[in-house]
Amino acid sequence: MPRYWLMKSEPSVISIDDVLAMPKQTVDWWGVRNYQARNFMRDQMAVGDGVFFYHSSCPEPGIAGLATVARQAYPDRTQFDVESHYFDPKATPENPRWMNVDVRIVRKTRLIGLDELRAHPELAGMRTLQKGNRLSITPVDPAEWKFIVDRLIGQA
């Protein structure tokens, strides 16, 4: 049974439009430096899982599209690059500390902002809406996924 995720990306770094312009409309989800988010990718994500592609740290944050996990977790290349902001001197190819998955866009949607998500009692327990939640990757309950896809995104 597939799982569902909300994955945040800063559109100034990688936006949904950037990914749509990439070969196979797929991006490696690099740069995650939080152990819990890393563990979600490494231990729980599987090819075919659903993803809400979420724009964060921007004037209007929110869900910008639907995506899917396209490749199982593998070592994040940026941890080994001394020129990268995400370089980790403790990581080695033999013992990588950071992982990423590949994410493929299914389709861009209208932006579903935080205020709209918060307006629905059906989404009150959604992890990304909880006070103090700063994780860039959070699990989404199947009922939350269905509500957002059916009621907020629809087939339009």
pLDDT score at 48: 98
The confidence score (pLDDT) of residue 96 equals 97
Q: For the chain, which domains are there?
A: 4-153 (3.10.590.10)
Q: Tell me the CA distances in angstroms from 132 to 18, 129, 135, 139, 141, one per residue in order.
A: 29, 9, 9, 16, 19
86: closest CA among 36, 33, 34, 38? 33
**Cβ-contact 140, 112 below 8 angstroms:** no
Contact of 27 with 67, CB cutoff 8 Å = no
Q: What is the pLDDT of residue 71?
A: 98
pTM of the model: 0.95
At 155 the pLDDT is 53
> For every one of its 156 residues, what pLDDT tens digit does the chain have, with 9 covering 90 and above?
889 999 999 999 999 999 999 999 999 999 999 999 999 999 999 999 999 999 999 999 999 999 999 999 999 999 999 999 999 999 999 999 999 999 999 999 999 999 999 999 999 999 999 988 889 999 999 999 999 999 999 854
Distance between CA atoms of 54 and 105, rounded to whole angstroms? 12
pLDDT for residue 156: 44
**CA distances, 66 to each of 95, 103, 131, 132 (Å):** 33, 10, 24, 25
